Structure 1
Amino acid sequence: SALELMSTTSLGSFNMAPKPSGEKQGPPPVVQKVLSLFGSKREEDKMVGYLSFLKVGPKLLKFVPGKKAQDLKHWLTVYGYWNQGGLSNVTSMFLYLLDAYRLQPAVAPPEPVVETPALGCLHPAYRGGKEYFETPAQYMAWYRREGPLRGRPDAPVAAVLLYRKHVVTEQPYIEQLVRQMEGEGVVPVPIFINGVEAHTVVRDLLTTQHEQANLAKGITGGISPTLRTRDAATVDAVISTIGFPLVGGPAGSMEGGRQADVAKGILASKNIPYVVAAPLLIQDMASWTRDGIAGLQSVVLYSLPELDGAIDTVPLGGLVGDAIFLVPERVKKLAARVRRWVALRRKPPAERRVAVLLYGFPPGVGATGTAALLNVPRSLQGLFSRLRGAGYNLGVGDADAP
């Protein structure tokens, strides 16, 4: 998000500084053409396509003439080491730079990038959490056979979006979260991502009974054609431990709400609870306990997701040194809320109880249900009519009666 700092990036003839006119430099035209082939043509998927290009771009750029293209290849290779993370990759990144630009006699040749998938599912009980499932469907097939809550079909299933970086650095909170959710009767589907592709995971690799019922009826409006039904897991809720907007993640945080309509469309298609339960990423437990959540974190981790349609927020923990730790009672609270949201979602509308709160201050002076320039009674009539049409039991009487 530090755009000024990013603009100082420079490798040989390739740099990210804007032109004197203010226009972005960008890669050479031939590289732009190659880059356009990755990912879908959707605006919200551009960052995902860029991450795909990172993996094969350096190999393709070997065949593109020109020094700028080769310097861009070096940049992509360096970024590939950095993006994969881990001590061995960072060490090789510096060795690669020394070799590519002859900065000093080579100490040792750089090792190939040690890769962790950009996306995958994990569970601490599956090979020690060191190996991953490629798709949520593969994960659920294993879980039904060997998962701790196997044989409990009524247990709510919740997708849990995790930072891939936290998986690579083996943050202890991931196992703690998975184990405690299971202890509270919720089946977790932990999915790690880089952060920018959360919307593609929810859109393409998660499905719901509501969505599948619509597909069975031939109702495809709002359902993405990129939905990968065979690879998707059917879930009852989505929990994001990432925060930030659903579309773009941290990369989209500079323009909060810009893709909110896209996110709303995705979530409406799934029609299940979307809960944000991000641990504090730049605040330690002591300051959280003493001062509450800092303003910036409150916005990017919790408020921005609400623009997308998040209906609940539960901060789970914070930093202790360089590690993220969870507060067990917060995880218990999260699991309880998920269970109740799912139970409410499963309950027939006629059995649900809905409270309507009306403004009424000051009391006794005819202020009940007032609102500036709004017809509250008429709005209530419309609300009750829609509730009755959706199957809610409003008692005996005219559907339009307030």
Structure 2
Amino acid sequence: MMKLSFIIGYGASMLPLLSKVLKEESKEHGFDYLVINSDLSEEYAKEIMESDAIVLYAYELPESAENALKESKARVIAPISDYYLHLSRGSPMLLSSVEKYFKIGGERNFRNLIHLLLRELGLPVNVEPVEDVPWNGIYHPKLGTFGDLKSYLQAYKLRRPAVGILFYRTYWLYNNIQFVDDLINSMEEEGISVIPVFTYGSRDDAIGSPSKEDSIRAFFMKDGEPIIDVLVNTTTFFLLDHGEWEKRKYAEVGGVELLKKMNVPVINLVLSYYKSVDEWLADPQGIDYLSQVYSIAMPEVDGAVEPIFIGGARINDSGVKIYETYKPHAKYIAKRVKKWIELRQKPPKERKIAIVLINPPCKGLEANVAVGMGLDVPESITKLLHRLSELGYDVGDVSKLPKNGKELIRMIMERKAISEFRWTSVEDIVRCGGAAAFVDEETYLEWFNELPDDVKAKMVRDWGHPSDVLNGRVSKVFVGMVHNHKFVVPGIRFGNVFITPQPKFGCAGSACDGKVCRILHDPTIAPPHQWLAVYRWITRIFKADLIMHFGTHGYLEFRPGKGAGLSPSCWPEISVDDVPHLYVYIVSNPMEGVIAKRRSYAEIIDHMYPPMAMADVLEDLELLLNQYLKAKQSGDFTRAEITYKEILEKARKNNIPIRGDSPEKVAEEVHRYLDMVRGTQINMGLHIFGCSPADPSKLANYAVTVMAYDSHNFPSIIRTIAEYIGLNYDEMKANPSGVNELGLTNSETTEMIRKVAVKVVESLIKNPELKDNLLDVVNGELKLVFGGEVYAEV
């Protein structure tokens, strides 16, 4: 009896339907069959070897199963995915047909796929053409399936606000869709209309499948305009078209213009393919690493944000991966989506913004308020306040806004609108007007009791019961920011903008004994009660439409919880509540920025690092080295010996390590040390958010510093000028102490070229209309000429 085998991976969603069809067809046509999840293929190696036709849909097989395929007697082996094409058997036309029947799927196509294989094996059966099954469409659990937007809108009566939900066609086709139903129900309970769209993963011209981009255009746009307010993406890999799978890159692609046209947030939901909900809940790391790559990192490339866990997978008795919803997050996601929509719909005058200042450990005392890596936070916030006023936001009396960063800090410090420190008690804060609000016991307990039981228990173990904290029944070391039995919320308000220091994490304030602050970055200790009081006051009482953490980096993203794919017991999720979160972060710290993005559901607003310049140091020593090398080259050995002694003396004074045992080796050592030091970038002040340096000289230095080294795509500006005037840049880099045809050492020439490069850029900044330029070497001098005028001469 002939035997057909189907080895199905990728969750095996189609396995129940395929099993049903195979069972019916085997009774009618008298053949044997095997249909298994690819994870079990090792156990069935013998049956695989005895098969006459094999359809394989998997990306990974045990070695024994792969060997069984190679050694099988099968006349047809049809790999549907690309991973095992080398095992193919059968004519190209047959294999192409098998792929179409399988990928388009559905009961009739599976039935005809079986007929096709039987006919190939010599059984006279009828094979019908491939039946069209929609590659994409709209699905609603109460209304059914729609092939176009128009017919759905006639049945659904869409009202704004509306959310688009994007999910895989496979879930719809094989009825593995509970998590989508739960999302739809949660959205509609919040008063949000839905357009739930199933789609194939990528465009495949061979089978006629559209891409996700095609589905977005077809169902979320009408007359060229978006009809949704938020896009919720549950698919994996890239959202946009990055080309054929094997050629895909982490790069910006044309579909970015589509997202710009949509102009809506893309919320990225995480469906774990390798863990059940219970396994995810129990795992302190959260989702598995593969899901982090496919469900978080790759969608991030195309602008998806807020990677919130929506469900996990469990394997049923048939070996099929069933997706189950984490229902608390289905409701949480709907609330966050609603807040995004409200933020957009509110006129600027009504929007409320909470700005959280980064508040480093108390060893820096009050001097550390409002700092950020490389950023002038006070000046940046001042400019932001004035810009918000121009845009129609309510910032209070404009005449009372700080005029600059110093004035903002003065206002904060005069009112002591800061957290309690070693020499600033909570009584001082309240007396000076730095308390923006208070949270009483009843209100706090209401928020506290919302928390999961495990979180509440941990807070009590770490900090005591909130009633004891507020009523002075615990050590002062564990209290902080409590006044008259209420938690203090420090800060200042400018109309609808509230500025507050981030709550201290474990600081005992004026009761500090120098020990408690050691827990600041302990990932196992819960934040103290005042932390929760401040963040909940922001979201529930102040009713912020937006939380903005201003500067790199605070504590929020490092608070206890899962590494990725957070739960309601994770403190970053608890802290931001359901409010949209922006984080102003330096662009040169992507690793920690990614942590903030993923663990605090932050939309990262990058800022440039500070203006930089190359360090001009030890120039007297550099001059001595050049004199020594020229003396050696010209044969003036007496002068070389005297200069060498001066080099040794200068090097020792500057604590430069000398290991060489000859003048030549010492000179080379010192040269390389100077090269390394000169290659160090130094700050020229702090960056002001949204502002480039106004001084042309500073900006030119900054630009040349950025362009000082070769990159993957572009040569350095130093190389460009060196090669323009006929010098071998690679030789200059390899041998800095060598003397070139200009009669200068290579390091001396490199520094000269850098200074000329700064002049070039500065001249272009001051005179952008100048285009023609000439660099020339005349009698050993490098001249920079614009339109006949000499701008630099060395």
Mapping for residues 66-77 of structure 1, pairs under 5 Å: 71=92, 73-77=93-97
Instruction: State how far apart, in whole Å, the 2-side matches of 1:388 and 1:342 are.
Output: 22
Instruction: State how far apart, in whole Å, the 2-side matches of 1:265 and 1:297 are.
Output: 27
2:125 counterpart (104, 108, 133): 108
Counterpart of 1:169 in structure 2 is 174
Counterpart of 2:388 in structure 1 is 387
How far is 1:166 from its partner? 0.8
Instruction: State how far apart, in whole Å, the 2-side matches of 1:296 and 1:386 are.
Output: 43
Instruction: State how far apart, in whole Å, the 2-side matches of 1:10 and 1:172 are.
Output: 33
How far is 1:295 from its partner? 1.7
Q: Pick closer, same or farther for the CA change 1:9–1:394 going to 2, 3 Å.
A: farther
Counterpart of 1:304 in structure 2 is 298
Instruction: State how far apart, in whole Å, the 1-side matches of 2:147 and 2:106 are.
Output: 21
2:257 corresponds to 1:265: yes
Do 2:197 and 2:219's aligned partners in 1 also have CA atoms closer than 8 Å? no
Do 1:161 and 1:242's aligned partners in 2 also have CA atoms closer than 8 Å? yes
Instruction: State how far apart, in whole Å, the 2-side matches of 1:233 and 1:268 are.
Output: 11
Do 1:95 and 1:109's aligned partners in 2 also have CA atoms closer than 8 Å? yes
3-state SS of the aligned residue for 1:299?
helix
Do 2:230 and 2:266's aligned partners in 1 also have CA atoms closer than 8 Å? yes
Do 1:184 and 1:335's aligned partners in 2 also have CA atoms closer than 8 Å? yes
Q: Pick closer, same or farther for the CA change 1:98–1:242 going to 2, 3 Å.
A: same
How far is 1:140 from its partner? 1.7
Instruction: State how far apart, in whole Å, the 2-side matches of 1:116 and 1:270 are.
Output: 28
Amino acid at match of 1:236: D
Please say which structure displays the higher CA radius of gyration: 2
Counterpart of 2:185 in structure 1 is 179
Do 1:92 and 1:111's aligned partners in 2 also have CA atoms closer than 8 Å? yes
Counterpart of 1:80 in structure 2 is 100
How far is 1:192 from its partner? 0.8
Amino acid at match of 2:325: L
How far is 1:248 from its partner? 3.7
Amino acid at match of 2:113: M
How far is 1:298 from its partner? 2.2
Q: TM-score, normalising length from structure 2?
A: 0.35
Amino acid at match of 1:156: P
Mapping for residues 211-230 of structure 1, pairs under 5 Å: 229=223
Amino acid at match of 1:281: Y
Mapping for residues 273-312 of structure 1, pairs under 5 Å: 273-291=265-283, 292-312=286-306
3-state SS of the aligned residue for 1:277?
strand
Counterpart of 1:239 in structure 2 is 232
2:165 corresponds to 1:160: yes
How far is 1:6 from its partner? 4.5
List gaps (5 residues or longer) in structure 1: 14-70, 145-149, 208-227
Counterpart of 1:368 in structure 2 is 369
Instruction: State how far apart, in whole Å, the 1-side matches of 2:351 and 2:186 are.
Output: 29
List gaps (5 residues or longer) in structure 2: 1-57, 60-80, 203-210, 406-794
2:138 corresponds to 1:135: no
2:150 corresponds to 1:125: no
Do 1:158 and 1:239's aligned partners in 2 also have CA atoms closer than 8 Å? yes
2:343 corresponds to 1:337: no
How far is 1:162 from its partner? 1.6
Aligned residues: 307
How far is 1:187 from its partner? 1.4
Q: Pick closer, same or farther for the CA change 1:287–1:80 going to 2, 3 Å.
A: same
Q: TM-score, normalising length from structure 1?
A: 0.66
Q: Pick closer, same or farther for the CA change 1:378–1:201 going to 2, 3 Å.
A: farther
Q: Pick closer, same or farther for the CA change 1:206–1:252 going to 2, 3 Å.
A: farther
Counterpart of 1:211 in structure 2 is none
How far is 1:94 from its partner? 4.2
Instruction: State how far apart, in whole Å, the 1-side matches of 2:237 and 2:353 are.
Output: 30
3-state SS of the aligned residue for 2:271?
coil
Please list the CA deviations of residues 10-53 of structure 1 after superposition, one character each: whole Å capped at 9, or x if unmatched: 4557xxxxxxxxxxxxxxxxxxxxxxxxxxxxxxxxxxxxxxxx
3-state SS of the aligned residue for 2:201?
coil
Mapping for residues 180-219 of structure 1, pairs under 5 Å: 180-196=186-202, 197-207=211-221
How far is 1:391 from its partner? 2.7
Counterpart of 2:311 in structure 1 is 317
Do 1:243 and 1:277's aligned partners in 2 also have CA atoms closer than 8 Å? no
Do 2:162 and 2:192's aligned partners in 1 also have CA atoms closer than 8 Å? yes
Q: Pick closer, same or farther for the CA change 1:349–1:263 going to 2, 3 Å.
A: farther
Residue identity over aligned pairs, in percent, reads 26
Counterpart of 1:225 in structure 2 is none
Higher RCO, 1 vs 2 (CA within 8 Å, ≥6 residues apart)? 1
Do 2:149 and 2:218's aligned partners in 1 also have CA atoms closer than 8 Å? no
Amino acid at match of 1:367: N
Amino acid at match of 1:340: K
Name whichever of 347-356 and 246-255 sits farther off.
246-255
